[in-house]
Amino acid sequence: MSETKKDTLLKQHENVEKLLGMWYDKRQGDTSVFTYLTPQEWETVLEHHYYQTAIDANLKDKIGFPLASTYHSLTKFSKALPILEILKTKKDNFSFENYSYILIMLEEIYRANVDLAKAIEIREERIRLGYIKTFYDLYADVGLYDIAVQDFKDLAYKPENGSFSKMTYYKKLGELFFKAYKIDSARANFKKGLKALEPILNSKDYEEKSWYIEYTKQFYYNQLKGNIIACNIEQDNFNNAIPILKEDIEESYTINDVDNRIHKWLLMAKVYLHEQDLNEANKVLDSVFERKRQKSIYNADLTYLKLRGDYYKQLSKVDSSAFYYRNFIDLRDSLDIISKKNQSIVLLSSLENSTQRTIIKKQRLELLNQAAKRDLKQLQTVLMIFVLVTLIILIIVFYKNYSFKVKARSKIKTQNEELIIKNEENELLLKEVHHRVKNNLQTISSLLGLQSNTVEDEATKKAFLEGQNRVHSMALIHKRLYESDQFGEITFKDYVEQLCSNLISSFGKTDVTNYIISSIDKLDVEKAVPIGLIVNEILTNTFKYGQSKDGSVKFNITLTSNETHYTLSFQDFGKGFNIKDVQKSNSLGHRLIELLSRQLDGELKVKSSSKGTSYKLIFPKEIQ
């Protein structure tokens, strides 16, 4: 920062009380302190006020907390440490939240400096003050990964609600599994973390919403994706690794997470070396080296030396490769010695706190049992209410159904009784109709007979007789309907036999006529009337022209059916007639037969020879 810019910045923020008010308001509000000034600008103005000679001690402590926080954010641990050690001794000057953060920063710096004894001292105080209950991260620092996983699962709070809290829980558990080289379990937990984060990413209004979550949610999303890629790389799956790791690293700059950048750069270097892209691998390793100068991470140092050795090995630079491999082995051996020593310290401290930890575990189990009992009781209550409500609903439904059925049966019974009465009334009316039609037709027939008696011309008398027979054939149908219980159909054979009997009597052929009638049982009225008239005309022609040489009349009538059609067949054994002559003569009987056949949508075939005459009429059961 130039001197001019620095002077301008200091002049703008010369009022220290106002500056501190801005810091604490932003920290407790809905935005980050670094949205007002950058970390470097905070460092400049806070250093200026902190190191003034004439400053009140309380004011200095108030400035010291944001200054140490800024140093910590910039990973300037050597500057942050002395201030934090002073602030640690002044617990009463800080809020619960701020003092907790002072201890967190101190412990993190001690752990980064591998000063585990002091880190454990801070952890014990945090446990004593109720800020934390676990040792899992300290176990992980010294390589006791399986114990770290178990400690986390036993004592870390697993949130039931809150998407961000759930994400944090699964992310930490996944990181512990990854360090324990349980890659599948690590990947599964990272994916759970991503799923927990989805509601936060896709909504502006969600549970736990705060400036910190809004500020960091995209970083954690990319970090979790990068962690899943890390799992894939450990299992030699390098697909799509580089673009996801680049997004993760880029987002790390937003919250200045140096550790994450270093670890993801090392993963990128591993991928580039696998792809033999040595130029890109070298660039990434140079970035790691530059950041390591500001903050040393021993596990990252170890990985860096190994990858540098691999890099020079691919370049066939044996001396350089051997140099880094030797440094790698020396550092690994040194870290193993330190790790074993630190493991003893951590385990000893853990043993000293085992009683308290056992009590905490017991209390947690009791809370879980109480919660389970409470949930069971609530479930039982809900089930009981559900059963009662269901039972009440079933009773109501059964009652309504029973009531409906009783009413329906009563209504159906009443309707049936009304229908029976109406049917009986209709039957009486229909019988009366058929009776009256029959009487009227008989009256017409009688009138035709009386009129024929007054006529002397034989041809006219024959015409009257034929008309009388036609009317009689229709009257006969209504007579049979009137006498039958079936008002819609007649027994065709009985009807034809009576019709033949009447015609034989009318033509005076009683002693010289033989006939055979075979038929289906029933024929409906709609077809019976035209069929009766057709049979009447055919028999009239037969009695006129169908006599044998000995004067006798013989004929057969058959009515058959299939699924769709009826077939009316007639055959006499007389001398026959010339069909063309009949057609030319414009005979009323012949025209009636053709007209009535068309009315039935039928197909009529007539054959006549010296051996007799035949009629065949095929007509559908359903007339269009």
Angle between helix 163-179 and helix 145-155 axes, rounded to 10 deg: 160
> Which stretches of 152-221 are assigned E, i.e. beta strand?
none
DSSP 93: G
Residue 38 φ/ψ, nearest 5 degrees: -75, 160
Distance CA 470, CA 394 (A): 70
Instruction: Report, as an integer, the average pLDDT of 523-539.
Output: 83
Residue 20 has pLDDT above 60, yes or no: yes
Tokens of 432: 């009366």
DSSP 3-state assignment of 101? helix
Give the pLDDT of residue 582: 74
Q: What is the CA radius of gyration of the chain?
A: 56
Closest CA to 132 of 150, 151, 114: 151
- H-helix or E-strand spanning residue 539: helix 525-545
Question: Picking from 477-486, 491-500, 521-530, 569-578, which range would have the lowest pLDDT averaged per residue?
Answer: 477-486
Q: What is the pLDDT of residues 383-392, one digit of tens each?
A: 888 888 888 8
Q: Are 487 and 427 in contact (CB under 8 A)?
A: yes
Distance CA 609, CA 490 (A): 33
Give the pLDDT of residue 480: 59
Give the pLDDT of residue 186: 94
Burial class (CB in 10 A: 0-12, 13-18, 19+), 359: exposed
Tokens 């075979």 -> residue: 518
Would you place residue 504 in the very low, low, confident or very high pLDDT band (cuts 50, 70, 90)? confident
Tokens of 157: 């709070």
Instruction: Report, as an integer, the average pLDDT of 158-180.
Output: 88
- The larger pLDDT score, comparing residue 69 to residue 577, is at 69
Q: Are 435 and 472 in contact (CB under 8 A)?
A: no
Q: What is the pLDDT of residues 89-108, one digit of tens each?
A: 998 888 888 899 899 899 88
Fill in the amino acid letter for 97.
E
Q: What is the pLDDT of residues 568-585, one digit of tens each?
A: 999 988 888 787 777 777
**Positive or negative, the Cα torsion across 561, 562, 564, 569?**
negative
Q: What percent of the chain has pLDDT over 70?
A: 80
Give the pLDDT of residue 562: 87
Residue 431 has pLDDT above 60, yes or no: no
Give the pLDDT of residue 143: 79
Residue 120 has pLDDT above 60, yes or no: yes
Tokens of 401: 């159904």
Highest mean pLDDT: which range of 149-158, 301-310, 534-543: 301-310
DSSP 349: H
Q: Across all residues in the chain, what is the average pLDDT?
A: 80
Burial class (CB in 10 A: 0-12, 13-18, 19+), 63: buried
Distance CA 60, CA 47 (A): 11
Q: Are 541 and 613 in contact (CB under 8 A)?
A: yes
Angle between helix 39-50 and helix 3-12 axes, rounded to 10 deg: 70
Give the pLDDT of residue 478: 61
Residue 165 φ/ψ, nearest 5 degrees: -60, -40
Residue 522 φ/ψ, nearest 5 degrees: -125, 155
Angle between helix 492-507 and helix 458-483 axes, rounded to 10 deg: 150
Tokens 């030319």 -> residue: 584
Residue 360 has pLDDT above 70, yes or no: no
How would DSSP label each residue in 460-526?
HHHHHHHHHHHHHHHHHHHHHHHHSS-SSEEEHHHHHHHHHHHHHHHHT-TTSEEEEEEE-SEEEHH
Closest CA to 513 of 562, 471, 557, 454: 557
Torsion region of 75: left, alpha or beta (phi above 0 gives left; psi -120 to 50 gives alpha): left
Give the pLDDT of residue 503: 78
Distance CA 339, CA 596 (A): 117
Would you place residue 484 in the very low, low, confident or very high pLDDT band (cuts 50, 70, 90)? low
Distance CA 70, CA 15 (A): 19
Residue 596 has pLDDT above 90, yes or no: no
Give the pLDDT of residue 535: 87
Would you place residue 145 in the very low, low, confident or very high pLDDT band (cuts 50, 70, 90)? confident
- As a CATH number, domain 489-620 is 3.30.565.10
Give the pLDDT of residue 463: 67
Tokens of 178: 């990854």
DSSP 3-state assignment of 180? coil
DSSP 251: H
Residue 492 has pLDDT above 90, yes or no: no
C-alpha distances in Å from residue 434, one per residue of 50, 292, 479: 125, 118, 7
Instruction: Report, as an integer, the average pLDDT of 156-171.
Output: 84
Tokens of 148: 């770290």
Distance CA 314, CA 273 (A): 8
HEC secondary structure over 105-167: HHHHHHHHCCCHHHHHHHHHHHHHCCCCCCCHHHHHHCCCHHHHHHHHHHHCCCCCCCHHHHH
Closest CA to 73 of 130, 120, 23: 23
- H-helix or E-strand spanning residue 609: strand 603-609
Question: Picking from 25-39, 186-200, 387-401, which range would have the lowest pLDDT averaged per residue?
Answer: 25-39
Q: What is the pLDDT of residues 179-238, one digit of tens each?
A: 889 999 999 999 999 998 888 887 777 777 877 788 888 999 999 999 999 999 999 999
Q: Where are the domains of the chain?
A: 1-132, 489-620
Give the pLDDT of residue 24: 77
Q: State the distance between the two ends of the chain, measured CA to CA, in whole angstroms.
A: 104
Closest CA to 574 of 597, 535, 607, 548: 548
Distance CA 544, CA 147 (A): 124
Q: What percent of the chain has pLDDT over 90?
A: 21
pTM metric for this prediction = 0.52
Would you place residue 242 in the very low, low, confident or very high pLDDT band (cuts 50, 70, 90)? very high
Residue 521 has pLDDT above 70, yes or no: no
CA angle 89, 94, 97 (to 5 degrees): 115
- The larger pLDDT score, comparing residue 467 to residue 318, is at 318
Question: Picking from 63-72, 137-146, 478-487, which range would have the lowest pLDDT averaged per residue?
Answer: 478-487
Tokens 């790390």 -> residue: 252
Instruction: Report, as an integer, the average pLDDT of 457-468.
Output: 67
Instruction: Report, as an integer, the average pLDDT of 403-421.
Output: 78
Instruction: Report, as an integer, the average pLDDT of 237-255.
Output: 91
Distance CA 205, CA 199 (A): 9
Report how far Cα 41 is from the mean position of its chain's Cα atoms.
Answer: 53
Give the pLDDT of residue 588: 77
Distance CA 602, CA 623 (A): 9
Would you place residue 470 in the very low, low, confident or very high pLDDT band (cuts 50, 70, 90)? low
Distance CA 77, CA 106 (A): 9
Residue 482 has pLDDT above 60, yes or no: no
Q: Which residues contact 1 (CB under 8 A, 6 or more apart)?
A: 9, 40, 44
Would you place residue 126 in the very low, low, confident or very high pLDDT band (cuts 50, 70, 90)? confident
Q: What is the pLDDT of residues 327-351, one digit of tens each?
A: 989 888 887 777 676 666 666 565 5
CA angle 144, 146, 152 (to 5 degrees): 100
Give the pLDDT of residue 315: 92
